[in-house]
Amino acid sequence: MTPRACPSCEGSRAAVFVEERRDHVGGVSYRLYRCSQCGLVYCDPRDPVGPEWYEKAAPRRAVETRSAPRRDARFAWFLGAGLPPGRLLDVGCGGGGFMTAASARGWTATGVDYEERMIALARAEGRDAYCQDFRAFLKGRSAKEFDAVVLFDVLEHDPEPRGLLAAIKPVLKRGGHIAVTLPNESRPAWFGREDFDYPPHHFTRWNVDALRSFLQREGFTVVDLRTVGPSVRWFSEVMFYGLIAPSAVRAARRALFGPQSEGTLTDLYAVASPAPPDAAPDGLKIYLADPARRQRAANIFKYACRVLTYPVAAVLALACRLRPRSGEYLYCLARYDA
């Protein structure tokens, strides 16, 4: 089966099949390919998913009352880049944490996001934020309105990245800047890839060369392109989720539901008949039937594991710093001269 052309370079050279992955939330099977011309990893099909998908994939997210972070390495990097403050657009602004940080540094910030709840948070903080589809929002703005557009962890979620840039370019001033951050495709994958890096959450994966050539083809001059990390914290997380958590979940499933049980704890609890509350041997099972308690127990377990994962992660992170371009993140600042 031949995949559709690369969404970055539309290269004619054959794409190389990487892997197939079925999304259990939507039931769609995705085939991932690496473009042999520009190096981008992309998937087929690339149909966007709506809020229902996210609702099913992470049901607790919708009830979280997390306020927007104001300190973030991405924010510090952009605000330290030496650009003179002007009008800024934050695409995928979430709760407006970056807008607040940028405003404090003299920028006039506007933001757009899909998540109504996050926009409500941003507005409550007095931010100029809108809940709308990105392309529709950009279409409604004035020509050359912004000095800078930031895409913090946005590009990899868009099924057609060229289309997104085509919508952004008209609102950028001549000589204005675009800032892009996303996970580095070339980061170490010894403990497997994080679930979030698969479609339909991420449709594309970028390395230094793929991102640079994409922005250049789109008429941008790359001013700064760096890999960041890998950090001890990141290594510790991927070790936990890739190595420790799957075994721990398996062990918990066997202990609570018996050796023949299959599926996630959430699924098993959903179909389990409620046990009488005085069933002493099942005390733990009853206690953990509450998803919030389960989450809390998982968090405590995770923090306990840090004693183990942090020293190993520190050694690995140090070793990786000797290898160029192995950071877990890419930060890129590019100027639009067209």
Sign of CA dihedral 192, 193, 199, 201: positive
Nearer to Zn ion, 13 or 321 (CB): 13
| Angle (nearest 5°) at CA 299 between 295 and 304 | 150
Residue from 9, 32, 112, 182 binding Zn ion (CB under 5 A)? 9
Nearest distance from C-beta of residue 42 to Zn ion, angstroms:
8
By CB under 5 A, residue 38 contacts Zn ion:
yes
Q: How many residues bind Zn ion (CB under 5 A)?
A: 8
Nearest distance from C-beta of residue 35 to Zn ion, angstroms:
3
Helix (H, G, I), strand (E, B) or coil at 16: strand
By CB under 5 A, residue 6 contacts Zn ion:
yes
| Angle (nearest 5°) at CA 294 between 257 and 26 | 80
| Angle (nearest 5°) at CA 333 between 330 and 125 | 90
Nearer to Zn ion, 39 or 95 (CB): 39
Nearest distance from C-beta of residue 334 to Zn ion, angstroms:
18
By CB under 5 A, residue 35 contacts Zn ion:
yes
Nearby residues of 26 by Cβ (< 8 Å), 6 or more positions away: 49, 53, 200
Beta carbons of 36 and 14 less than 8 angstroms apart: yes
Nearer to Zn ion, 18 or 252 (CB): 18
What residues numbered 57-86 form the site for Zn ion, per CB under 5 A? none
By CB under 5 A, residue 46 contacts Zn ion:
no
Nearer to Zn ion, 12 or 273 (CB): 12
Distance CA 193, CA 201 (A): 13
Q: Which of 199, 202, 179, 155 is nearest to 8 (CA)?
A: 155
Nearest distance from C-beta of residue 178 to Zn ion, angstroms:
19
Neighbours of 71 (CB within 10 A): 8
By CB under 5 A, residue 11 contacts Zn ion:
yes
Residue from 37, 110, 184, 207 binding Zn ion (CB under 5 A)? 37
Nearest distance from C-beta of residue 223 to Zn ion, angstroms:
23
Report the interface residues with Zn ion, using CB under 5 A.
6, 8-9, 11, 35, 37-38, 40
